[in-house]
Amino acid sequence: MLPPAKSTLAAETDALFNFINVTSIILLIGITIAIVFFAWKYRRRSENDVTPVITHNSKLEITWSVIPLILVLIVFGWGLSGYVNLTTIPDDAYEIRVVGKSWLWEFHYETGHVSVNELHVPVDRPVKLVMSSEDVIHSFYIPDFRIKRDVLPNRYSSVWFEATETGESVIFCTEYCGMAHSDMLATTIVHEQEEFDTWLASAGSADDNLSPLELGEQLVTRNACTTCHSMDGSILQGPSFQGLWGSERQFEEGDNVTADENYIRESILEPQARIVESYDPVMPTYAGTLDDRQIDAIIEYIKTLE
């Protein structure tokens, strides 16, 4: 029933899950057999049936109180020990900063590099995520690692894991956060340590060889612009990028402007400044996430979507 276990702590959680499942199924089968058997065996044969007077049975009642009590105490202790492991972060953990925004995940690395919706981590090494939210409550969940922690707007919360194999795992937001809550997905990419170091070293410069147009095309996907802005004219949480360039933008306040470089730049850095009619003010700022060259590239790309 469970997804593949890809972290050091997953096995313990899974063992408890299976223990409770198996115990419950055995008890459920017993109870079900009793219900069906009694209903058949003691079915009413005549209206004059006489039934025995059995008001209580101390031995029986103590048995069926104490055995479940012992079982739940086992489950409690087992769950607690797992929880303590999940919340005790090793001192040598590699730290990555996580910011949740409606509706994307940002990952800030020690080099200053920021990746959106892609969490790169090394394998076989404890990783600590220090998380906060820019707006409402989100929750960071990686099913393969059996970890989850709410991401709050007014404080930091932390979660840790140690991946045991390389590959990709999905990240969900599990605290309802509005219209595109279910699109707030990200991917964990687990690398070998060397591969991770190489990736981190080159992460900032990998884009250098691209033309602005190519870069822009990559950036709108990589930065989760496409979660809310379509490329084909369909209406999502925000206006489509198609036909945006040079069009008249009608704002909530009643004024309007032609979409040019300055308007797009402002919309990326200060998205709440002017809201296009019939949309909600929900976009987070990209100030600090995108630099000037990247903003230029996105503008170049939008120009081509007619």
Partner 1 sequence: MATEESKANVKRVQVKRFKPEEYPEKHYLNQETGLWAWLTTVDHKKIGLMYLMSVAFFFFIGGMLALLIRTELLTPARTFMDADVYNQVFTLHGAIMIFFFLIPSVPAALGNFILPLQLGAKDVAFPRLNLASFYIYVIGALFTITAIFTGGVDTGWTFYTPYSATTGGSVMMMTMGVFILGFSSILTGLNFIVTIHKLRSPGITWNRLPLNLWGLYATSIIQILATPVLAITLLLLTMERALGIGIFDPALGGDPVLYQHFFWFYSHPAVYIMIVPGFGIISEVISTFSRKVIFGYWAIALSSLAIAFIGFLVWGHHMFTAGQSSLASMVFSFLTFLVGIPTGIKIFNWLATMYRGSIDMKTPMLYAMVFLFLFTIGGFTGIMLGALSVDVHLHDTYYVVAHFHYVMMGGMVMAFLAGLHYWWPKMFGRMYSEFWAKLSCGLVFIGFNMTFLPQFIMGAQGMPRRYFNYIDQFQSFHQFSTLGAYVMGVAFFIMAGYLFHSLRKGKRAAANPWGSRALEWQTSSPAPLHNFEHTPVIINGPYDYHKPMSEFQLGIATPHNDHHADENVSHTESEKEQV
Q: Which of residues 89-118 bind partner 1 (CB under 8 A)?
A: none
What's the min distance (Å) between Cβ of 221 and partner 1?
Answer: 17
Q: How far apart are CA 37 and CA 110, in angstroms?
A: 65
CB-CB contact of 229 with 240 (8 Å): yes
Among 8, 164, 166, 174, binds partner 1 (CB under 8 A): 174
According to the binding rule CB under 8 A, does residue 146 interact with partner 1? Answer: yes
Q: Which of 111, 182, 193, 211 binds partner 1 (CB under 8 A)?
A: 182
As beta bridge partners, residue 257 has: 249
Q: Tell me the Cα Rg of the chain.
A: 28
Q: Spell out where 44-125 has E strands.
A: 94-101, 104-108, 114-116, 118-122
CB-based burial label for 279 (10 Å; 0-12, 13-18, 19+): middle
For residue 35, the minimal CB distance to partner 1 (Å) is 5
For residues 51 and 209, which CB has a smaller minimum distance to partner 1 in the complex?
Answer: 51
- In this structure, the dihedral spanned by the alpha carbons of residues 140, 138, 294 and 302, taken in order and rounded to 10 degrees, is 120
- Using CB under 8 A, which of 11, 76, 266, 287 touches partner 1? 76
CB atoms within 10 A of CB 10: 23
Please say which residue, 185 or 200, places its beta carbon nearer to partner 1. Answer: 185
- Is the bond leading into 103 cis (omega within 30 degrees of zero)? yes
CA–CA separation, 144 vs 177, rounded Å?
A: 22
Question: Between 61 and 260, whose beta carbon lies closer to partner 1?
Answer: 61
**233: contact with partner 1 by CB under 8 A:** no
The residues in 185-214 that bind partner 1, with binding defined as CB under 8 A, are 185
**Which residues from 3-62 bind partner 1, rule CB under 8 A?**
3, 9, 12-13, 16-17, 20-21, 24, 27-28, 31-32, 34-35, 38-39, 42-45, 47, 49-57, 60-61
The binder of partner 1 chosen from 237, 267, 289, 294 (CB under 8 A): 237
CB of 259 vs partner 1, minimal distance in Å: 25
Pairing relationship of beta strands 147-151 and 114-116 according to DSSP bridges: unpaired
